[in-house]
Structure 1
Amino acid sequence: MNYRRLLHGAKFWIWVVLFVAYSAGAVGVVLIDTYDDRYREMSKVKLTSVKSDADQRRAGASQAAAIYRAQSGMPFSTLQPGSRFQIVWPDGSVETVTVVDPSSPLGTEPVKGTAVTAE
């Protein structure tokens, strides 16, 4: 009898731990899709892809991050320095970017080895 109750309690707590771990992992991913209307016509984003030079990608990611911050519920605590996000460029290519300085026009830095070209 005690064995069944112990087994039932263990199963319950395993599911709770799995749910919490999955929720914590899912919350940490920010994805900015620049094909969305609010990003698509921005001057630094319009013609940018992972094949563009680093300064153009940094400027485009900084513009997209600024719009994302402005439209979030907490603009001063969203995408703080050191945080990472993935950006999908208008051509479909994707890369991960780190925020270095939110107030700078080149305030992001692409993470090396994370760029995936469009197919």
Structure 2
Amino acid sequence: MAVQEVEMQDLQMQLVDPEHIPAMERLTQEVLLLREKVASVESQGQEASRNRRQELLLMLEGLVDEWSQLNEALQAETQLCSSLVKFHAHPERTEEYQRKGGIET
């Protein structure tokens, strides 16, 4: 395959007027430079994408931690409400609780 490319370049060079060879070489260099710039920009885009992904993962971990804390607080509040309902549903236990000094055993 590489041999065919070399032969094609040779044929193209034969078709080009010798006066235009410096311009062709300059344009070839510009094309190579542009290819390098495109590769560099693509690489930077991939790096930015990785950084954004990492940032989103950290945010997600923070949200999971916050959710866990809120869930624990909700469970404690639910348990407290349940205890209050039981406490007020049985007034006889309330008096017994108060006689014991506020400590239920």
TM-score, with length taken from structure 1: 0.33
Point out the structure with the larger helix share: 2
Higher relative contact order by CA 8 Å / sep ≥ 6: 1 or 2? 1
Give 1 or 2 for the bigger CA radius of gyration: 2
